[in-house]
Copies of this chain bind each other. A is one copy, B any other.
Amino acid sequence: MSDENRALLAANEAFYRAFAGREADAMASLWARTVPVACIHPGWDVLTDHDAVVASWRRLLANPASPAVRCRDARAYLYGTVGFVVCHEVLPEGVLVATNVFVREDGRWRVVHHQAGPVAVAAPEPAPPASRKLH
């Protein structure tokens, strides 16, 4: 895996760290500022500009009833200074599948788009290594 691939996956992890930790400022800082962005929350219609997107995340993360989320199975697709990650979002009520699109901006990978939606049957989570089971 290339360094850029790793950097893209690290940006995706930062996204889910802010999401799971309800860190609204961190989440806001992850979205691109100098290029257009969009966001499709599960079941919502598309939000088509930066202010609407960041405001939606601030509302979502301010809600103590917002679900605990965990990202797994992240896979990076890289095309120069743009890339996307597909991953599963594990929530108490089920598993979603998500696309997160990133653009290099000021030397960092920043989010320009997020779409998450339900998946009827997600691939099972890999079992822990056998050695762990023996101890």
Q: Name A residues whose Cβ lies closer than 8 Å to a Cβ of B.
A: 35-38, 40, 42-46, 48, 75, 77, 79-82, 84, 86, 97, 99, 101, 103, 112-113, 115-123
Contacts and interface: CB of A to CB of B under 8 A. Distances in A.
Contact of A84 (B77, B86, B113): B113
Given A40-B97, A44-B120, A45-B123, 14 more contacts: A35-B79, A36-B77, A37-B77, A38-B84, A40-B86, A40-B99, A43-B118, A44-B119, A48-B75, A79-B103, A79-B112, A84-B113, A115-B115, A117-B117
B117 A42 contact: yes
Nearest to A114: B99
Contact of A46 (B44, B80, B86, B113): B86
